Amino acid sequence: MNYWRERSAPYRPGQKTAFKVSRSKIELFMQCQRCFWLDTRLKITRPSSPPFNINKAIDELFKKEFDRYRAEGKPHPMMLDNQIKAVPYQHDNMDNWRHNFTGVVHVHEPTNLHVFGAVDDIWVNDDGELIVVDYKATSKNKEVSIDSDWQISYKRQMEIYQWLLRANGFAVSDTGYFVYTNARMDMDEFGNRLEFVTKVIPYTGNASWVDDVLVKMKACMEGEMPAVGDSIMGGPCEYCSYARQRTELTLAAVKAKSPKSK
């Protein structure tokens, strides 16, 4: 199947057509309303980080591995080892749901926002409930967990996927799983090979916050540019703080060199 990415136009206040917002745009709003406004209204995006190509490769290999069991209708050994009574879910839309630029889609009627997010995997339990699964990869000297403060974004990510699937009429389990793999750093040599230890971590999600945040996002998009520091989570945005300090220093330098300042 061929996919293409259509660059969306900036949001126009009062527009009648549905406006696309990805799962990552919801996370951006949670982190900084000003950055979100600049992105959606003016298409001024935050500086991007380098792509995590090793993580991408691991994601693709996980998908191929679970797809083998999906085709057979059998549980993956990780499910058996963790006493998870489920099998990888088979559905005609799985490829669309897992693709970055399509994903699971729902048009939120109160805001006319076209919300979408690409899942890593979906399992189904014995009760017919869908289970959201997210692959994560890292390399650290300690056992992986989802207990750090910054990992709240992982949890919100899973909850948005749960919300999207429910909005499409599916029964969805509150419990999802992070298939979290950790490249070992205690080996004696590299030898053109990495060894991983994978942990399946359950997480009970609560997506009740999503509708309210979408309403706040739409109000933000309709309004004027928020002030620096406006955030659902509280605390300063490091991107906005950097931009303000750099602008202040630049203006001060320009003023110091101006003939009128002498």
Alpha-carbon gap, residue 144 to 61, rounded angstroms? 20
Q: What is the pLDDT of residues 9-66, one digit of tens each?
A: 999 999 999 999 999 999 999 999 999 999 999 999 998 888 788 889 999 999 999 9
Question: In the beta sheet, which residues pair with residue 130?
Answer: 124, 172
Q: Is there a contact between 132 and 119 (Cβ–Cβ < 8 Å)?
A: yes
CA 201 to centroid of chain Cα atoms: 18
pLDDT given for residue 101 in this prediction: 85
Residue spans of beta strands (DSSP E) within 86-143: 86-88, 104-108, 113-117, 121-125, 130-138
Q: Does domain 19-222 have CATH number 3.90.320?
A: yes
Question: In the beta sheet, which residues pair with residue 201?
Answer: 178
Edge-to-edge strand list for the sheet holding 113-117: 19-22, 113-117, 104-108
Q: What is the pLDDT of residues 123-136, one digit of tens each?
A: 999 999 999 999 99
Q: Write the DSSP string, 222-262.
A: HSPPPPTT--SS-S--HHHHHHHHHHHHHHHHHHHHSGGG-
And the tokens for 77? 């050994």
Q: What is the pTM of this model?
A: 0.90
Alpha-carbon gap, residue 160 to 132, rounded angstroms? 10
Q: Is there a contact between 214 and 117 (Cβ–Cβ < 8 Å)?
A: no
Element (H, E) at 27: helix 23-31
